[in-house]
Amino acid sequence: MRFKEITLRGNAYERGFTYGQLCSDEIRLTMKGYEKLYFDTKGVTWEDARKVGEYYLEKTREFNPDYAEEIRGIADGAKLDILDIMALNCRTEIMYADSTRAGVTECTCLTVLPPATEGGHTIAAQNWDYSLLISGECLIVVHVYQEDKPHFMMVVEGAGMIGGIGMNDRGISVILNALRTPKSVNGIPFHVRLRAMLEAENLSDAYVKGSHAPYSVGNLIATHSDGIAIEFEMDSEIVEPIIPEDGVIIHTNHYVGPKTYLANDVNHMGSTYIRMQRMKAMVKERYGKITVEDIKKMFSDHAGYPYSICDHEDPNYPVAMRDATNFSIIMDHTDNRILVCPGNPCELEFEEYSI
């Protein structure tokens, strides 16, 4: 099984309109899922989410008017209101700001650089673990081609979003972790930052665009084919850069930077610490010899099941809180390969994509 795959060209509005036309059904399915998620986990109605979206649409327009135009195009192409689409693109701000209680388990990220890998490869990978309400047909592989800007491929975490996990033709990939903060957030939306990073020409540019004030909440990891990477956590007041340690970055869903850790007293699910512990052990075991095949096995690991690196549904939880690994992605910068598994990697095969 492969995710639906679309290609976007033209100006910002034209790209968005094509997106909306081609993915109208998938966008509505994603909206339905997020409507239930927002209400069941945060008590936010869809109308509330649209109002939040109106605020963040202006923040997006201030940051980059083209992104607001693309969102308008998606809405028109799908025959929806622009605030419906914006309510999807600020899902992080709705779900993870003003938040002190544990939620779905979320993602495990790994970047390995020389000398951690076999043959000097540079690889960025992650399992995207999230509510099963946003899985399957909600997830789209999007190729974007623009004049005078990098081309890129991304997997969006819900049809209608303009930013996702992916890689561009300048050798930059971006992966992410959700983080929670008890603080209010009113900055540039997290997924708009993702989009800006995928349009970066170099790693410094990716960091500057992703960490641009005013801040949001979450963790972003940018990796470059030169064998370099940078990670940064943020809340509404702090951006904390973190550099690889011995060519390795591992991140789950708790703050590890000393400033961000102390500033955010939130209740994390225990799985975030277990997944980090397990990934560190597997990386240590294969250090200096890590390959793509090793990473497939690491992301299929079930230590701590069902809240393991390869995350599985817990039927004891309410429907909106039931999550699993909705996709797994491995980006080998050295071989310029992108592998995507459309679900749990312990059960399904990885398919190869190109930029």
The residues spanned by each domain of the chain are 9-96, 108-353
Backbone angles phi, psi at 165, to 5 degrees: -85, 125
- CA 176 → CA 34, 90, 118, 201, 319, distances in Å? 19, 15, 24, 19, 24
Give the model's pLDDT for residue 269: 73
Torsion angle in degrees (nearest 10) through CA of 12, 13, 18, 21: 140
Residue 48 burial (CB < 10 Å; 0-12/13-18/19+)?
Answer: middle
Give the model's pLDDT for residue 176: 98
For residues 111 and 175, what is the distance between their CA atoms, to the nearest angstrom?
Answer: 9
Torsion angle in degrees (nearest 10) through CA of 2, 206, 131, 270: 130
Which uninterrupted H or E stretch holds 22?
Answer: helix 12-22
Q: Judge contact between 49 and 93, C-beta under 8 A.
A: no
For the domain spanning 9-96, the CATH number is 1.10.10
For residues 100 and 96, what is the distance between their CA atoms, to the nearest angstrom?
Answer: 9
Round the CA-based radius of gyration of the chain to a whole number and report it: 18
- 3 state DSSP class of 148: coil
For the domain spanning 108-353, the CATH number is 3.60.60.10
Give the model's pLDDT for residue 263: 80
pTM greater than 0.85: yes
Give the model's pLDDT for residue 126: 98
Backbone angles phi, psi at 102, to 5 degrees: -70, 145
For residues 328 and 93, what is the distance between their CA atoms, to the nearest angstrom?
Answer: 23
Give the model's pLDDT for residue 262: 77
- CB atoms near residue 148 (< 10 Å): 4
The sheet carrying 218-224 orders its strands as 4-8, 140-144, 152-156, 165-168, 172-177, 218-224, 228-234, 239-242
Per-residue pLDDT of the chain (355 residues; tens, 9 = 90+): 799 999 999 999 999 999 999 999 999 999 999 999 999 989 999 999 999 999 999 999 999 999 999 999 999 999 999 999 999 999 999 999 887 665 556 799 999 999 999 999 999 999 999 999 999 999 999 999 999 999 999 999 999 999 999 999 999 999 999 999 988 999 999 999 999 999 999 999 999 999 999 999 999 999 999 999 999 999 999 999 999 999 999 999 999 998 988 788 776 778 999 999 999 999 999 999 999 999 999 999 999 999 999 999 998 888 878 899 999 999 999 999 999 999 999 999 999 999 9
Tokens 């943020």 appear where? 234
Q: The dihedral of CA 174, 129, 8, 121: what is its sign?
A: positive
Q: Which residues pair with 222 in a beta bridge?
A: 174, 230
Mention every residue, 6+ apart, whose C-beta is less than 8 A from residue 304: 271, 274, 275, 278
Taking only the tens place, the pLDDT of each residue in 16-36 is 999 999 999 999 999 999 999
